[in-house]
Structure 1
Amino acid sequence: MVAVQRTVVRRGDTLIVDGVAYDLQRFAHIYVVGTGKGSAVMAQGLEAILGDRISAGAVTVKYEHVAPVERVTLYEAAHPIPDAAGVQGANAAMELVRQAADDDLVFCLLSGGGSALWPAPSGGISLAEKQRMTGLLIDCGARIDEINVIRKHLSAVKGGQLARLAAPARLITLVLSDVVGDRLDAIASGPTVPDPTTFRDCLNILTRYDLLDRLPDSVHAHLQQGLAGSVPETPEAGDPVFELGQTVVVANNRLALRAAREAAEARGYTTLLLSSTLEGEARHVARMHAAIAQEICQSGQPISPPACIISGGETTVTVRGNGKGGRSQEFALAAALHIAGLDATVVLSGGTDGTDGPTDAGGALVDGRTVARAEALGLQPEAFLHRNDAYHFFQALDDLLLTGPTGTNVMDMYVVLVGA
């Protein structure tokens, strides 16, 4: 909410969005649509600014990620595997923007999780087939930007297609970025911005992960039709539908990391903001962080203790087991194995949205004694990691990070503390 109110300022009948002024008197209606784990709180912030000038709204959030709103209708839906409630929310948003005229203003509020929460399958593809496709992409270890390339080309709303529906209304998009590098076309699959990807890119990704022979028949047929040109491509840069649009990133991972660094320094830590662009397998990235902690313990490099290493990004997990967890919990479990025995060393791994994967935990907290504590209870950390079952491992130790929904989503944060 604060991020929206910092970006959008109202002065009487003038609305200023990231320095661009709009005369509210020229708009007959103001509509609000949106999707993502943080979009309800974003809508709450926009309502505080515009009040009864908002004519109607339809925003889809993950279950239990709601916030008090009055002018906007909230739809709760499933993430990361879409459900029928998500289809209902997406349809409501599309219906709202279709009725917008050239004297109307549409706000689109986007945050992480928006792709899954706005399923609007292209013609001929069922929700069940979209669900199966999403599961295949998640389990194969594909990066989120690769998953979103597929999503855009199986959707009626993503990849700039909402902008096509909203034209000729004025369109303002406010974004909480959950994507490395803040790529607008990847956040919530870019429903209001040009799409640089193609049907050919989809086939290349599916080939890379050996998924072509596992596709639902309707998905395979749709992609082939797209390659042949019988299904139109998503709108690209230069398309006139984008001429009346403004898109602003109101918050991102880097902003969250800077706030964490300030909090650590206020507590007397020497800090190093390592990166806000981490990607790769969660267990491999965790091992790198553990190596930095070991180096600090042994040599006082790259910073001297008491030290706080802060980083962020979005890792992936290639699912090979049948356990329960998320990428932040898997990171924490892998880190625990590599810092075992290190004195005064603590690692926190958490999703800024407060929900890591399909669990109620935001992540987990480990230290140099975690492995020993687990083994004393008869738990084998390596076995839990092998079957991707970090949730039950940390549940047994009471080391899950349980914050509940935070109202934001700017990827994940990793904090390594090494005491003096």
Structure 2
Amino acid sequence: MDVPRITVEDYDALASSEPRAVALDCLIAGTDATHPRRVVFDALALEDEHLTVTPVAGPSQTYDLEAYDDVVVIGGGNAAGHVAAALESLLGDRIDGGVVVTDDPVETDRIDVMPGDHPVPSERGLEGANAVLERAANAGPDDLVLGCLTGGGSALLPAPAENVSLEDLRKTTEALLASGAPIDELNVVRKHLSRFKGGNLARAAAPATVVGLLVSDVAGDDQSVIASGPLSPDETTFADALDVFERYGIGAPKSVLEHLRRGADGNERETPTDDDPAFDDVDCHVVANANTALEAAREVAVDRGYAPLVLSSSVRGEAREAAKTQVAIAEEIARTGKPVEPPAVVLSGGETTVTLVDDYGRGGPNQEFVLGGALELAVPAVVASVDTDGIDGATDAAGAIADQRTVSRDGSLDPLKARRALERNDAYPTLEAANALIRTGATGTNVNDLRVLVVERGVADQ
């Protein structure tokens, strides 16, 4: 099995000390561990004509491929192309075609890989989503549909409701992303503006047997939130979607609000709930998640002689506020040796958010986490964070790395300038000037954010 490894641009310059190298190596190992080509061969096994799927939690399930007329692959997300390629390597000519949409295309023989865009939906994403819906609808009752759904699928598979234009969906997505709303609430809106999400892909594929293979980028692995849950029951409503706009003070195009109001009044079809017959023959399995990345990063820390502390795989909230909390934990380790003795590595996953106050600022939650953390550091430590898909916000950086010297009077960044940049949501140019950005390019996966704080040796004795 040929599994590509990610590379970090200017690694040697970024890894200018042992703690910085440890931080980068934890991020690299965590991201590599969630690559679909590795995940598929870890989670799926083929013996004779029996395909067994072993999820990250829960029992394995086996499917007799000889019981089906055709085996087709559909889906989308940042990692969907690599999942499709891995499935071809595993199943070969047992696959009878399919289509997936991604922003990281790869070469395949039997499955069409179509391009889309992330984080804002596009025309080519719409074309791809329609192709996936058509392929699902063509599946018969004796077919097996393998649904590859990964982080990024919400934007890459737009398929807006018939009375909502793609442009209005795009404007709505941009407003939601700028609002600071968490991903589950953002996806409530997306589901109710889509012909694809919130279980609608399962409706299209019924009555075929559907096996969802999910790479989770959401806290708690809620299957109805991953890629906005195309194959999962949805308990949210049009009224819930309207409530998101009201609570976050988000403006939206007229067509969007009118569609949601019609739905709340019972004049649009609701997303299917778990008692809908569309789910009678649907099984979904999470085959990789944030814990997959955290465990690989933890192993690197142990190998390098650092005590690992995994805080959570589900950190959420404002990025700069999450940074304050995690830096405080690093400082406690340095000063008291609690809850672990230094040298230590503090790890977390999940998804933080950014509430934009300046439409012209550049950056993303991982960059804001690092810049905010560097401003708070009062002990020798390293703070680093990346989005595992390699794209933090709408930038070419995956995230950033800094230490207690980065933001200081004699360091790369003046504290006052750094704080002003953070207030303007303009972390990117500030971190770029300090040579602190981590660039990996597209990684082929997405289990959301991975954060590392490295507390140096001997700090507790100072």
Q: TM class, shorter-chain normalised?
A: over 0.9
Aligned to 1:70: 109
The answer to whether 1:355 aligns with 2:414 is no
Give distance in 2, aligned partners of 1:354 and 1:76: 17
Aligned to 1:196: 235
Aligned ranges 1:30-109 → 2 under 5 Å: 30-62=71-103, 65-109=104-148
Task: Report if the CA contact (8 A) 2:413-2:434 is conserved.
Answer: no
The alpha carbon displacement at 1:390 in A equals 1.0
Match of 1:337 among 375, 380, 383: 375
Match of 1:326 among 336, 353, 364: 364
Q: How far does the alpha carbon of each residue in 1:357-394 deviate from its partner, in whole angstroms, 9 at most, with x for none?
A: 11111100000110122346x98101110111111111
Give distance in 2, aligned partners of 1:162 and 1:33: 10
Q: How far does the alpha carbon of each residue in 1:335-377 deviate from its partner, in whole angstroms, 9 at most, with x for none?
A: 01001x532x10111111111111111100000110122346x
Match of 2:421 among 375, 384, 395: 384
Aligned ranges 1:115-130 → 2 under 5 Å: 115-130=154-169
Q: How far does the alpha carbon of each residue in 1:44-90 deviate from its partner, in whole angstroms, 9 at most, with x for none?
A: 1111111122121211112xx22332211111211111100100110
**What one-letter code is carried by the residue in structure 1 that aligns with 2:189?**
I
Give distance in 2, aligned partners of 1:402 and 1:128: 30
Task: Report if the CA contact (8 A) 2:74-2:147 is conserved.
Answer: yes
The alpha carbon displacement at 1:7 in A equals 2.0
Aligned residue pairs, count = 413
The residue matched to 1:380 in structure 2 has which SS? helix
Give distance in 2, aligned partners of 1:120 and 1:418: 46
**What one-letter code is carried by the residue in structure 2 that aligns with 1:10?**
L
Task: Report if the CA contact (8 A) 1:141-1:318 is conserved.
Answer: yes
The residue matched to 1:371 in structure 2 has which SS? coil
Aligned to 2:23: none
Task: Report if the CA contact (8 A) 2:310-2:348 is conserved.
Answer: yes
Aligned to 2:405: 369
The alpha carbon displacement at 1:276 in A equals 0.8
**What one-letter code is carried by the residue in structure 1 that aligns with 2:247?**
R
The alpha carbon displacement at 1:222 in A equals 0.7
The alpha carbon displacement at 1:21 in A equals 2.3
Give distance in 2, aligned partners of 1:53 and 1:335: 50
Q: TM-score normalized by structure 1?
A: 0.96
Q: In structure 2, do the counterparts of structure 1 residues 375 and 401 end up closer, same or farther at CA, with 3 Å as the change threshold?
A: closer
**What one-letter code is carried by the residue in structure 2 that aligns with 1:191?**
P
Match of 1:400 among 418, 432, 437: 437
Give distance in 2, aligned partners of 1:268 and 1:79: 38
Give distance in 1, aligned partners of 2:49 and 2:320: 52
Give distance in 2, aligned partners of 1:404 and 1:375: 25
The alignment's C-alpha RMSD in Å is: 1.3
Aligned ranges 1:263-342 → 2 under 5 Å: 263-321=300-358, 322-339=360-377, 342=379
Q: How far does the alpha carbon of each residue in 1:82-136 deviate from its partner, in whole angstroms, 9 at most, with x for none?
A: 1001001101101101111011111110111100100000011100000000011
The residue matched to 1:246 in structure 2 has which SS? strand
The alpha carbon displacement at 1:300 in A equals 1.8
Give distance in 2, aligned partners of 1:11 and 1:396: 54
Match of 1:224 among 258, 261, 285: 261
Aligned ranges 1:8-47 → 2 under 5 Å: 8-18=44-54, 19-47=60-88
Match of 1:415 among 422, 431, 452: 452
The residue matched to 2:92 in structure 1 has which SS? helix
Give distance in 2, aligned partners of 1:342 and 1:74: 48
Unmatched runs of 5 consecutive residues or more in structure 1: none
The residue matched to 2:428 in structure 1 has which SS? helix
Aligned to 1:155: 194
Give distance in 2, aligned partners of 1:419 and 1:209: 40
**What one-letter code is carried by the residue in structure 2 that aligns with 1:110?**
L
**What one-letter code is carried by the residue in structure 1 that aligns with 2:221?**
D
Task: Report if the CA contact (8 A) 2:307-2:342 is conserved.
Answer: yes
Give distance in 2, aligned partners of 1:298 and 1:53: 59
Match of 1:144 among 147, 165, 183: 183
Match of 1:187 among 226, 247, 255: 226
**What one-letter code is carried by the residue in structure 2 that aligns with 1:358?**
A
Give distance in 1, aligned partners of 2:144 and 2:386: 37
Aligned to 1:346: 382
The residue matched to 2:407 in structure 1 has which SS? helix
The alpha carbon displacement at 1:296 in A equals 2.0
Match of 1:240 among 277, 294, 304: 277
Deviation larger for 7-16 or 254-263: 7-16
**What one-letter code is carried by the residue in structure 2 that aligns with 1:40?**
G
Q: How far does the alpha carbon of each residue in 1:250-270 deviate from its partner, in whole angstroms, 9 at most, with x for none?
A: 011012111111110011001
Give distance in 1, aligned partners of 2:289 and 2:413: 38
Task: Report if the CA contact (8 A) 1:374-1:381 is conserved.
Answer: no
**What one-letter code is carried by the residue in structure 1 that aligns with 2:68?**
F
**What one-letter code is carried by the residue in structure 2 that aligns with 1:16?**
T
